[in-house]
């Protein structure tokens, strides 16, 4: 185990409010290779960026010297992490309809690189099949795929969002994680994890369970933030994709591919996706702390962030990565 004390300590050394019970912490081995070796000094330290009430805690990201995976350590336990998800957490809000013309998207996507929202409906499967969306949130993606003829099931650890999926769309959705007693091996053609793998405490175990749920030849699609991206290098602790402590594992293209292969999958090359809105949010957070260069401050402006997102995409350094993996037949 690491020979340093936990870094998740009050930023100003002030005591926690009396009404708050102490947070239970896990000192985690590497989630990929299982190494307990000393990871050395933290790669970075950052507070929770969400609005008040703030905890005053600073969280550390470390890097495994054996396999290169970066992860939050120490981290809140599986039970304690729930207190860091506020009631208005963005992924748990019902998505708003886009005003943008869908006809304009294909050309612009080819020119500027697809935003991650273009995932909807573009799955590597010959036609409608059986789909499980892990971390389904309020079900916008499930609804899109159900309208395209897919037999869909959602799963999420938040009971409130599962209630919303059932009430708003009438679609099957389960509370919990994997493995789940209501899900049988070989019962899905496609499993999707849209920005959910980085939230789980045991990502490799979860991928192995997803492997069991797929038919031979079935596909797994994973999207995560890219901690090797240019926006991360520019903004550091203010980078929107960091989201400590909710993001527990911080992937690069190499470590995401390695974890998929360790779970038994055959992975295709990782693709880059752009997020100009992430750039704007990162620039705003950096501006709020005063730790921002004049160029970075310009990225709060929508045209500048869109241009910068395109440049990151062209350079292969976007802040979102997506990998399609297959269960071998």
For residue range 299-312, list pLDDT tens digits in order. 999 999 999 999 99
Q: What are phi and psi of 10, to 5 degrees?
A: -55, 135
Residues 175, 159 contacting (CB under 8 angstroms): yes
238 and 114 share one domain: yes
* pLDDT tops 50 at residue 9: no
Give 181-237 pLDDT, tens digit per residue: 999 999 999 999 999 999 999 999 999 999 999 999 999 999 999 999 999 999 999
Give 42-83 pLDDT, tens digit per residue: 999 999 988 765 667 899 999 999 999 999 999 999 999 999
110 and 198 share one domain: yes
183 and 67 share one domain: no
Alpha carbons 11 and 128: distance in angstroms, whole number: 50
Whether 99 is covered by a domain: the verdict is no
Residue 116 contacts by C-beta under 8 Å, 6 or more apart in sequence? 194, 223, 273, 274, 275, 320, 322
Q: Which of 8-22, 68-82, 126-140, 303-317 has the lowest mean pLDDT?
A: 8-22
Domain boundary residue among 24, 45, 79?
79
pLDDT, position 256: 98
4 and 124 share one domain: no
248 and 161 share one domain: yes
72 and 206 share one domain: no
Q: Please give the average per-residue pLDDT across 292-301, as a whole number.
A: 80
75 and 111 share one domain: no
Closest alpha carbon to 63 in 209, 251, 216, 309: 251
- Measured at the CA of 219, the angle between CA 216 and CA 222, to 5 degrees, comes to 145
Name the domain count of the chain. 2
Task: Determine the structural domain holding residue 65 and report its residue range.
Answer: 1-79
**Tokens for 271?**
């693709």
Tell me the three state secondary structure of residue 9.
strand
Whether 90 is covered by a domain: the verdict is no
Of all residues in the chain, what percent carry a pLDDT higher than 90?
70
Q: What are phi and psi of 51, to 5 degrees?
A: -60, 170
Residue 154: pLDDT band by 50, 70, 90 thresholds?
A: very high
Whether 88 is covered by a domain: the verdict is no
Of all residues in the chain, what percent carry a pLDDT higher than 70?
82
Left, alpha or beta for 129 (phi > 0: left; psi -120 to 50: alpha)? beta
Q: Which of 43-47, 83-87, 129-133, 164-168 has the lowest mean pLDDT?
A: 83-87
pLDDT, position 92: 59
pLDDT, position 110: 41
For residues 201 and 105, the model is more confident at 201
Whether 273 is covered by a domain: the verdict is yes
pLDDT, position 295: 73
CATH number at residue 164: 3.40.50.150
* pLDDT tops 50 at residue 140: yes
160 and 308 share one domain: yes
For residues 219 and 119, the model is more confident at 219
174 and 64 share one domain: no
Whether 87 is covered by a domain: the verdict is no
**Exposure of 26 in the CB half-sphere (CA atoms within 13 A):** 19
Closest alpha carbon to 155 in 193, 209, 208, 127: 193
């Amino acid at each position: 185990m690491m020979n340093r004390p936990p870094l998740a300590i009050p930023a100003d050394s002030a005591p926690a409010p009396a009404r708050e019970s102490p947070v239970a912490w896990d000192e985690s081995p590497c989630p990929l290779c299982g190494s307990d070796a000393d990871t050395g000094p933290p790669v970075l330290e950052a507070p929770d960026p969400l609005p008040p009430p703030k905890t005053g805690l600073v969280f550390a990201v470390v890097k495994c010297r054996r396999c290169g995976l970066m992860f939050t350590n120490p981290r809140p336990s599986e039970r304690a992490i729930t207190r860091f998800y506020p009631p208005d957490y963005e992924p748990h809000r019902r998505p708003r309809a886009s005003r943008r013309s869908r006809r304009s998207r294909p050309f612009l996507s080819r020119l500027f690189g697809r935003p991650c929202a273009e995932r909807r409906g573009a799955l590597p499967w010959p036609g409608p099949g059986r789909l499980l969306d892990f971390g389904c949130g309020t079900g916008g993606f499930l609804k899109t795929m159900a309208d395209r003829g897919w037999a869909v099931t959602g799963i999420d650890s938040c009971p409130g969002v599962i209630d919303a999926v059932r009430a708003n769309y009438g679609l099957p959705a389960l509370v919990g994680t994997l493995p789940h007693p209501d899900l049988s091996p070989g019962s899905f053609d496609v499993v999707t994890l849209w920005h959910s793998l980085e939230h789980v405490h045991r990502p490799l175990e979860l991928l192995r369970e997803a492997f069991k749920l797929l038919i031979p030849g079935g596909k797994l699609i994973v999207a995560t933030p890219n901690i090797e991206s240019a926006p991360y290098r520019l903004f550091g602790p203010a980078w929107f994709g960091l989201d400590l402590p909710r993001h527990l594992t911080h992937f690069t293209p190499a470590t995401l591919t390695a974890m998929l292969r360790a779970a038994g999958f055959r992975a295709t090359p990782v693709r880059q996706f752009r997020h100009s809105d992430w750039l704007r949010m990162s620039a705003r957070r950096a501006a709020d702390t005063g730790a921002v260069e004049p160029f970075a401050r310009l990225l709060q402006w929508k045209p500048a962030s869109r241009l910068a997102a395109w440049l990151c995409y062209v350079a292969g350094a976007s802040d979102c990565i997506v990998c399609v993996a297959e269960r071998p037949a």
